[in-house]
């Protein structure tokens, strides 16, 4: 057993070494002190006549022995100065005083002085542990004081004696030598003090207070040493000889001697006698040990220093006071209510001190721990339901202390306390008064303030299939209690809210302190069947093991509850469901079904009873397995029967009842064979108890069964013998006093803690799983928060909505922030969305404002301002985990935008460069709400808008209003306004200032500028929210009741969308489809120019400009998105054509190398083609086209895009809105594009370039059309370009048919058409056609000579060459004969022969024009040539071929073949001329 450690265990009672150098002066002072005390006692005694004289003893007159002993001490005391005091036996100078105290002849005043003397001696520490016989002296003091005798003269002196007794006993325990006291002496001291406390109830208030204080001090002094007491493993011994077991014997003594007052002495001369005469209470008189008068014993237990044995007895006594409080007899002067509270409160206060001082040390001593687990907690459960708020408060304090010190050893007790006390009292539906509810709620809130409390409740109870969902029930209670239902906000509501917030703040702190990631999506799965009631944890101290263990148990528990719901609807389907989720085996066995019935909450007990009572063999097996799940070891029959029948409803049919009771009896007899002879006896007695229960508690039974009847009915049932009468009597009384409920409670109620349930709880405590201490990790917080988040958000929101005080606002705000933090860290996006939705309602920004000055109203509403700040703080801090909540946040932003309260650059693009302005169309009319920045129309709140330096960042004007917040604010302050305005009041100024400060704290712009850090899912939801808001506003702006604000909102949303798109260029794929779809919708549905479509178009172009350099893999999509511009309505396109063209040109010039697909270039060129018809847009459009064709020798073009580019260039050249200079430049551009063909030919090599011939043909064909232009400079330049094109392209191989395509439809047609124009049109329409004809002649001559060699080498017998040559001759002949302005042109007459001569010479040199038969063309070409030449230049033959005789014959005289050829030539020439 435990005892004090005298040397190192208890510092407070350690011996201090004596001072060896103690001076004589000190010794003399102590002697004088003792002498003065003797004198004081003698003086008070002489005041009484009895002590003043002598009395006769035989023949001599002698002094009274008390006087003699005092005088003897006086004579000896100064002789001790030569010795050290610790060497003197303290009994020598204490005995005279103790004799006075012990004497029955002394009066109260004398006793008081004697007690004071002893008190003084003890308090001065005149002796220590090294003093001779110190243990005997201390024991003598205790024995004497506790056996004090005196004669009472008046009530005041009586109280004085009692107070001095208390002082002496207390100083004994506080003395340094108190450790020499034995267990029995300590118990006697406590016993005596309690008697005085009990008797003080009829005395003065001072004595009452002092006695209670002394008792409190005694308990604290004794149990403060408990942490330093070591437990020695010795056989259990009794404290005193003749006493019973240390637990029950002393309790009996306490209950009899101290509570019921049956051990009063009749000695009229002592203290007991006085109490018997003057008091209705128990006298204090002769105070003995807990079991009666002190017994002299040589037992080691009695002589050993006090330790665990006395502490166990004292604690047992304190616990028994709670039991005895119900039976204490009241005096006539006691108040019923006060006394009902007084004794339990006193006892609870002492117990609380024990728990506080003993702490976790109690767990090291099994006896103390057993008392706490059973008797103490059982009494706490009972008094927890007291009507007294004071008692409930004290009980709660004790339980809180136990939570801190002994939680691991009181697992099931805590479950019972919360379910049977706190949850019952905190709800009015169970009949608790408001005071009870409030105290219970305060207790619960105190527990919630313990950081790990809820987590430990969840891990140990909610995740255990055999326990209640304590965490879930407590959080639901807090949530419901915080709701002000049809009543104003009260203290109870705020208190419950405080508890909720304490819980979530604890979670938030754990999230912040967790060193490892706390988010774990790994779901628990059960792939195969294993007995769910046998799930074990390998290591309860390792979080890696027990976390998965409790999560698995919670998963099983949830599934079992779902299975219970299915079972309640259809038992068969319920069992099949459990088989499907592997909680029951594929082939049902009785044990698994029995355990399902035993450990699953929420089952319909009627269905369970019917199943268990069924006659089916399988059901009978399940019934017996079900009975085996109970532990009836050493349990009373009625208690066992109560526990058994509480789990289901006993069926009504007698056969079913018999089967059920047979199974019960069999199990009970297996475990309790002390009294019953066999299981049949158990069955018969069980039946008898059921019948007795019905008889006693059925109101329809008028004549009740007596105890004798019950005993008689059960004769000879124990295997032919009678059961003990006391046994049957006890059963009878138990049934009569406490009904066996055969119809157990259904549903989710909180049952009372009955004695049978407590017995069962203590049984379960032995086999329950160890208590899990969770620590500071956030391992289970996600699962917990998912359960409580919804009710918590609703509760805090309701309180916030109904609150009126700033303190409550701040409390709610802290809760909102904690919820947001937890939701984000555990990736509970739905919870965070719910929180945002709830908060946005309190901003008042989503409600249509009915006030005239919403800005001032917002500034005056602290709740709205706090909610607004909280919303945006959460959005900035935890935006990664917001999903649908972005819609509500955006609605708030739009409301602030309409009120003009947004920061200037709320939609700013973090990657925006100030040196990229967009030109503004001079034809675009902007609204009054627009300003200009860099030449681009923007709104006052635009992403590109600039804010004057003198305007604060939040002071942006409201779109389509005269001014924003600061604008209106400035107007209020202005004294020289055009219209007289009243000066703002101080309240208005303060409201404006508060509004400004709130918006500044929100940092709304950071949501968009920092969007590049958002998670992809959150970013996508933000973009969709913007699109949704913009679409709503866009529909509003297009409706019949449209307003400028609708369009402005749509524009604002679009700008925000573009801003976040640009900010997230590295993950543009996330947003691209939605952004493009939105812009496309705007472009397609807008029929008139407006700001919205303008921003959509330019935003699209800006996105392409900014993203092309960084997203090559997206280049094709970016460029192809520009096809939306082509879908603009004609009126819209015309309004913004110039700006669009400028942006496209900038895009092309900056990113040409990144556009690599034909489709992309076709898109760009198609956009440019539309600008040729627009006066202002044609110049930048042409420059862009020029860049495309000329940059790098046309490296951006392919044969596919080349034709389209030529067509667009042709459109620019022929456009009626462009000047001739532009057309000339276009012609140069077309001509320069021939370099592309040459480059392609060079890159591919010979033999693979025939396909490019068609491109060249298209080129020259296009130029030919410009040669017919009315404008002289354009026409002449076109001919020049055509000439250069015809002779400067090398390496192009033409098919035979291509030659005809070039000369016949292009060159020959051009000559014919020019001649027709010159001869058939007025010179006013076509000026200086003569010059054009001259150029045309030169063109045909150079082209023929350039392609002569290629035509010579072609096959077909020279047919192509002959046809082309004869066509040239025919045109020359026509030009020689042509009349321009009514006469032949002299310049043509000079030029044509010269050109002809040059061509003939070249042909002669190349052997083409010869008379030899072997020559190409033969005589036929020769003859045809000269037939034409004679009409042009008759002398040319003699000049070129002087040696050849001229043929003078006519056409008719020529050979038939030559004549036919000549006719064909004439026909061709004349036909082509048409």
Q: Which residues are catalytic?
A: 653
Buried b (16+ CB within 10 A) or exposed e, 601-622: eebbbebbbbbbbbeeeebbeb
Q: Say how many CA atoms lie within 13 Å of 434 toward its Cβ.
A: 4
Six-digit token string for 197:
């406390």
Dist. CA 963–CA 238, nearest whole Å: 94
930-933 vs 1383-1384, strand pairing mode:
unpaired
Do 1465 and 1420 touch, CB atoms closer than 8 A?
no
For the chain, the C-alpha Rg in angstroms (whole number) is 57
CA dihedral 762, 766, 768, 772 (to 10 degrees): 100
Dist. CA 332–CA 879, nearest whole Å: 72
- The crossing angle, in degrees rounded to 10, of helices 336-358 and 389-406 is 10
Residue 1426: which of 1418, 1412, 1437 has the closest Cα? Answer: 1437
User: 3-state SS string over 879-897?
Assistant: HHHCCCHHHHHHHHHHHHH
Buried b (16+ CB within 10 A) or exposed e, 1203-1240: bbbbebbbbbbebeebeeebbbbbbbbbbbbbbbbbbb
Q: What are the residues whose beta carbons fall under 8 Å from the beta carbon of 1052, sequence distance 6 or more?
A: 894, 897, 907, 939, 941, 959
What SS3 state is found at 589?
A: coil
Contacts 24+ apart (CB under 8 A), 948-952: 951/904, 952/996
Compute the C-alpha angle 1390/1395/1400, nearest 5°: 130
For the chain, what is the total number of helices (H) and then of strands (E)?
A: 66, 6
**How far are the Cα atoms of 91, 95, 127, 138 from residue 133, in angstroms, in the given order?**
8, 13, 10, 9
Buried b (16+ CB within 10 A) or exposed e, 109-130: bbbbbbbbbbbbbbeeebbbbe
Dist. CA 1362–CA 189, nearest whole Å: 149
Dist. CA 417–CA 440, nearest whole Å: 11
Q: What are the residues whose beta carbons fall under 8 Å from the beta carbon of 153, sequence distance 6 or more?
A: 107, 108, 109
Six-digit token string for 1355:
């096959």
Dist. CA 1044–CA 1038, nearest whole Å: 10
Residue 365: which of 255, 225, 256 has the closest Cα? Answer: 225
Q: Residue holding tokens 């058994």? A: 644
Residue 1064: which of 1017, 1004, 1000 has the closest Cα? Answer: 1017
Q: Please state, as a whole number, how many other Cβ atoms lie within 10 Å of the Cβ of residue 1247.
A: 7
Do 1159 and 1125 touch, CB atoms closer than 8 A?
no
Q: List helix spans (H) across 1003-1067.
A: 1004-1009, 1016-1038, 1044-1063
Q: Please state, as a whole number, how many other Cβ atoms lie within 10 Å of the Cβ of residue 694.
A: 16
- The crossing angle, in degrees rounded to 10, of helices 605-613 and 590-599 is 150
């Amino acid at each position: 057993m435990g005892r004090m450690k005298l040397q190192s265990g208890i510092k407070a009672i350690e011996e201090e070494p004596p001072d060896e150098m103690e001076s004589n002066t000190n010794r003399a002072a102590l002697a004088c002190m003792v002498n003065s005390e003797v004198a004081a006692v003698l003086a008070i005694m002489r005041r009484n006549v009895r002590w003043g004289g002598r009395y006769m003893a035989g023949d001599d007159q002698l002094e009274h022995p008390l006087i003699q002993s005092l005088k003897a001490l006086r004579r000896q005391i100064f002789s001790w100065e030569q010795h050290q005091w610790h060497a003197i036996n303290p009994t020598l100078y204490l005995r005279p005083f103790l004799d006075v105290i012990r004497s029955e002849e002394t009066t109260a005043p004398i006793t008081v002085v004697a007690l004071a003397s002893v008190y003084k001696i003890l308090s001065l520490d005149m002796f220590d542990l090294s003093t001779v016989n110190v243990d005997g002296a201390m024991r003598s003091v205790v024995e004497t004081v506790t056996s004090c005798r005196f004669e009472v003269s008046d009530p005041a002196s009586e109280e004085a004696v009692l107070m001095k007794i208390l002082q002496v006993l207390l100083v004994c325990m506080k003395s340094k030598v108190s450790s020499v006291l034995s267990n029995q002496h300590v118990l006697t001291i406590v016993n005596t003090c309690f008697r005085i406390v009990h008797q003080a109830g009829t005395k003065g208030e001072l004595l009452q207070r002092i006695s209670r204080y002394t008792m409190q001090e005694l308990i604290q002094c004794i149990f403060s040493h408990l942490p330093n007491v070591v437990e020695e493993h010795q056989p259990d011994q009794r404290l005193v000889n003749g006493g019973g077991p240390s637990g029950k014997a002393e309790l009996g003594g306490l209950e009899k001697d101290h509570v019921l007052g049956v051990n009063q002495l009749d000695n009229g001369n002592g203290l007991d006698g006085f109490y018997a005469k003057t008091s209705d209470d128990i006298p204090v008189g002769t105070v003995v040990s807990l079991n009666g008068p002190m017994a002299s014993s040589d037992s080691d237990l009695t002589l050993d220093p006090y330790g665990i044995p006395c502490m166990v007895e004292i604690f047992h006594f304190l616990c028994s006071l709670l039991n005895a409080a119900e039976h204490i007899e009241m005096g006539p002067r006691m108040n019923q209510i006060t006394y009902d509270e007084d004794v339990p409160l006193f006892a609870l206060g002492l117990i609380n001190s024990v728990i506080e001082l003993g702490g976790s040390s109690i767990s090291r001593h099994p006896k103390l721990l057993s008392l706490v687990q059973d008797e103490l907690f059982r009494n706490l459960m009972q008094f927890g339901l007291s009507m007294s708020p004071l008692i409930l408060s004290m009980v709660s304090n004790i339980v809180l202390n136990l939570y801190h010190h002994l939680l691991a050893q009181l697992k099931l007790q805590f479950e019972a306390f919360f379910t049977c006390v706190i949850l019952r009292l905190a709800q009015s539906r169970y009949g608790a008064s408001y005071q009870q509810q409030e105290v219970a709620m305060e207790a619960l809130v105190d527990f919630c303030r313990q950081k790990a409390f809820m987590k430990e409740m969840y891990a140990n109870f909610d995740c255990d299939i055999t326990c209640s969902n304590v965490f879930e029930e407590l959080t639901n209670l807090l949530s419901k209690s915080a709701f002000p239902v049809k009543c104003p906000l009260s203290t109870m509501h705020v208190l419950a809210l405080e508890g909720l917030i304490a819980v979530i703040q604890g979670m938030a702190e754990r999230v912040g302190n967790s060193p490892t990631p706390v988010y774990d999506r790994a779901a628990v799965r059960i792939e195969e069947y294993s007995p769910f009631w046998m799930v074990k944890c390998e290591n309860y101290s390792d979080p890696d093991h027990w976390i998965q263990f409790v999560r698995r148990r919670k998963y099983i528990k949830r599934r079992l509850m779902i299975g219970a719901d299915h079972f309640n609807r259809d038992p068969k389907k319920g069992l099949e469901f459990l088989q499907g989720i592997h909680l029951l085996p594929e082939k049902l066995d009785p044990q698994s079904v029995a355990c399902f019935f035993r450990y699953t909450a929420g089952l319909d007990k009627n269905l369970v009873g019917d199943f268990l009572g069924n006659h089916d063999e399988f059901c009978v097996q399940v019934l017996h397995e079900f009975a085996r799940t109970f532990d009836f070891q050493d349990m009373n029959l009625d208690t066992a029967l109560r526990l058994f029948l509480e789990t289901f409803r006993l069926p009504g049919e007698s056969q079913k009842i018999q089967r059920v009771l047979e199974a019960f009896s069999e199990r009970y007899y297996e475990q309790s064979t002390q009294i019953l002879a066999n299981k049949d006896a158990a069955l018969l007695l069980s039946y008898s108890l059921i019948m007795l229960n019905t008889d006693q508690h059925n109101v329809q039974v008028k004549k009740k069964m007596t105890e004798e009847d019950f005993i008689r009915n059960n004769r000879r049932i124990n295997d032919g013998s009678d059961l003990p009468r006391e046994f049957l009597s006890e059963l009878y009384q138990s049934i009569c006093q406490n009904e066996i409920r055969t119809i157990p409670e259904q549903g989710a109620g909180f049952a009372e803690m009955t004695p049978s349930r407590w017995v069962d709880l203590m049984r379960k405590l032995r086999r329950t799983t160890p208590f899990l201490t969770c620590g500071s990790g956030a391992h289970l917080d996600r699962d917990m928060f998912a359960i409580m988040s919804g009710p918590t958000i609703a509760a805090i929101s309701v309180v916030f909505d109904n609150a009126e005080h700033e303190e409550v606002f701040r409390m709610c705000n802290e809760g909102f922030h904690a919820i947001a933090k937890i939701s984000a860290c555990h990736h509970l996006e739905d919870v965070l969305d719910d929180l945002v939705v709830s908060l946005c309602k309190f901003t008042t920004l989503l409600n249509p404002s009915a006030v005239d000055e919403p800005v001032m109203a917002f500034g005056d509403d602290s709740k709205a301002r706090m909610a607004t700040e909280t919303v945006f703080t959460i959005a900035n801090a935890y935006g990664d985990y917001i999903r649908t909540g972005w819609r509500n946040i955006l609605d708030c932003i739009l409301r602030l935008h309409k009120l003009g309260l947004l920061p200037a650059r709320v939609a700013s693009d973090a990657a925006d460069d100030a040196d990229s302005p967009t030109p503004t169309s001079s034809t675009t009319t902007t609204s009054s709400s627009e300003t200009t920045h860099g030449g681009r129309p923007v709104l006052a709140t635009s992403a590109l808008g600039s804010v004057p330096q003198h305007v604060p960042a939040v002071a942006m004007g409201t779109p389509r209003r005269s001014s924003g917040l600061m604008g209106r604010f400035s107007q209020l302050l202005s004294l020289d306004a055009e219209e007289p305005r009243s000066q703002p009041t101080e309240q208005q100024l303060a409201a404006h200032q508060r509004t400004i400060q709130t918006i500044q704290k929100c940092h709304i712009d950071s949501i968009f500028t920092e969007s590049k850090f958002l998670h992809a899912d959150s970013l996508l939801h933000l973009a969709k929210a913007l699109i949704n808001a913009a679409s709503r506003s866009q529909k509003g702006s297009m409706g019949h009741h449209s307003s400028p604000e609708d369009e402005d909102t749509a524009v604002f949303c679009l700008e925000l969308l573009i801003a976040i798109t640009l900010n997230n260029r590295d993950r543009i794929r996330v947003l691209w489809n939605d952004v493009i779809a939105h812009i496309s919708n705007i472009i397609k549905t807008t029929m008139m120019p407006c700001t919205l479509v303008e921003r959509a178009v330019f935003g699209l172009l800006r996105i392409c400009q900014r993203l092309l350099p960084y997203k090559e893999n997206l280049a094709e999509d970016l460029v192809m998105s520009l096809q939306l511009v082509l879908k603009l309505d004609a009126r819209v396109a015309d309004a913004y054509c110039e700006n669009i063209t400028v942006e496209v040109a900038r895009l092309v010039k900056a990113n040409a190398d990144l556009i690599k697909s034909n489709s992309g270039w076709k898109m760009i060129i198609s956009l440019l083609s539309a600008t040729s018809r627009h006066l202002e847009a044609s110049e930048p459009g042409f420059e862009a086209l020029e860049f495309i064709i000329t940059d790098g020798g046309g490296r951006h073009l392919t044969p596919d895009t080349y034709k389209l580019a030529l067509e667009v260039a042709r459109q620019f050249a022929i456009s009626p809105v462009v000047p001739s200079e532009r057309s000339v430049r276009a012609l140069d551009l077309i001509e320069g594009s021939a370099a592309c063909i040459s480059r392609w030919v060079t890159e591919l090599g010979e033999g693979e370039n025939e396909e490019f011939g068609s491109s060249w043909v298209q080129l020259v064909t296009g130029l030919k059309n410009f040669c017919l232009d009315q404008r002289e400079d354009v026409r002449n330049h076109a001919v020049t370009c055509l000439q250069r094109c015809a002779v400067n392209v090398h390496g192009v191989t033409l098919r035979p048919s291509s030659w005809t395509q070039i000369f016949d439809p292009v060159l020959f047609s051009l000559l014919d058409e020019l001649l027709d124009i010159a001869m058939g049109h007025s010179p006013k329409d076509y000026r200086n056609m003569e010059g054009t004809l001259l150029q045309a002649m030169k063109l045909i001559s150079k082209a023929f000579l350039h392609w002569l060699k290629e035509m010579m080498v072609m096959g077909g017998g020279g047919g192509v060459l002959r046809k082309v040559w004869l066509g040239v001759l025919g045109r020359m002949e026509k030009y020689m004969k042509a009349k321009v302005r009514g006469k032949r042109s002299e310049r043509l007459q000079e030029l044509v022969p010269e050109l002809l001569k040059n061509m003939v010479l070249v042909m002669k040199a190349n052997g083409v024009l010869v008379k030899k038969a072997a020559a190409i063309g033969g005589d036929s070409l020769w003859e045809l040539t000269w037939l034409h030449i004679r009409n042009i230049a008759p002398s040319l033959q003699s000049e070129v071929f002087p040696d050849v005789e001229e043929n003078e014959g006519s056409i008719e005289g020529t050979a038939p073949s030559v004549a036919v050829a000549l006719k064909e030539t004439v026909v061709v020439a004349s036909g082509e001329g048409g």
